[in-house]
Amino acid sequence: MTTAIIGVGNIGTALARHLVRGGEPVVLAARGKSHAETLAQELGPLAGAASVDDAIAGADAVVFAVWLETIKGLLATHAHLLENKVVVDPSNPLGFDENGQMMRTLPESQSSGSVVASLLPAGAHYVKAFGTIGADALAGGANRQPRRAVLFYATDDDVAATTIERLIRAAGFDPLRAGGVADAGRIEAPGGDLQQFGLGGELLDLDRARAAITAKAAA
Ligand SMILES: NC(=O)c1ccc[n+]([C@@H]2O[C@H](COP(=O)([O-])OP(=O)(O)OC[C@H]3O[C@@H](n4cnc5c(N)ncnc54)[C@H](OP(=O)(O)O)[C@@H]3O)[C@@H](O)[C@H]2O)c1
C-alpha cells in the first residue's frame, strides 16, 4: 500500500516521518516540488516525491495535509483521480483573514469534514483523521510509553476505517472511531469536544478516549 501526502508543512511532515518509521511507503507532493523532494531524500528509500497528479494517481490512500481552501481548490481539479482511493482529511474549518489572523471559515454548525466529503466522487472512501491533535503533539506523541496516545477518526466507510486504523497504528498511535462524517466536528478545532484542545490539551489513552466519546452523550 502506498500513501500520498499532499502538503509537507507541519502536519504532512510529521505524518510522513511517522509512516516511514512505521514501514509505510509514502509519496510526497506540495506546491513547490523541492519541499517534497527535500523531505523524501531525508526519509530514505520508503519515501518518494512527485507532482500532485502523479502522487494521487499512484497511491491507495491520499492525505490532504493542506488548508481547507486548498483542499477545495485541489478537489475542483483532481477529484476524478480519487475514485476507489481512501481520502484522509486532517483539515480544520480554519483560514486566515486579510491581516493574517487565523479565523473560522465555516458556520459553527458546519464541519470541514462534511464539506470535503461532499466534494468527493461517489467511489472515494472518505475519512477525517490526523488533524485531531496539534502538529507539535502529532510530531512528538508517537509511540508513547507506557500507553500509546489515541488518534480519533470519523468515517461512514468500512474500507476507509480499515486503512486509517493501519496508518494510525503505523504512525505510532492507537486508532479510535469517534463516529461518522456527521460527527466530524467533534474531532475538529475550534470547538470539537474530542479534539486535543477540547480535551484540555491532553492526549488520551484508549480507555480514557472511549470514555470521552460517551461522556458527551451522558452529559
Ligand atoms: N498545524 C496544526 O497544528 C494543525 C492541527 C490540526 C489540523 N491541521 C490542519 O492540517 C492542514 C495542514 O496544516 P499545516 O499546519 O500542516 O499547514 P502548513 O504547515 O501551512 O503546510 C501547508 C502545505 O500545503 C502545501 N500546499 C499549499 N498549496 C498547495 C497546492 N496547491 N498543492 C499542493 N500543496 C500545497 C504547502 O506546500 P509548500 O511547502 O510547497 O508551500 C505546504 O507544504 C490544515 O487543513 C490544518 O487545518 C493543522
Is residue 218 pLDDT above 90, yes or no?
Answer: no
pTM: 0.98
- Which residues are registered as beta bridge partners of 5? 28, 63
| CA–centroid distance, residue 66 to ligand 1 (Å) | 3
Nearest CA residue ID for atom 41, ligand 1:
31
Q: How far is the CA of 69 from the centre of ligand 1 (A)?
A: 10
Question: Which sign, positive or negative, has the C-alpha torsion 36, 126, 177, 23?
Answer: negative
Q: Which tens digits make up the pLDDT trace of 64-108?
A: 999 999 999 999 999 999 999 999 999 999 999 999 999 999 999
Residue 32 has pLDDT above 90, yes or no: no
| Contact of 150 with 108, CB cutoff 8 Å | no
Confidence of residue 139 (pLDDT cuts 50, 70, 90): very high
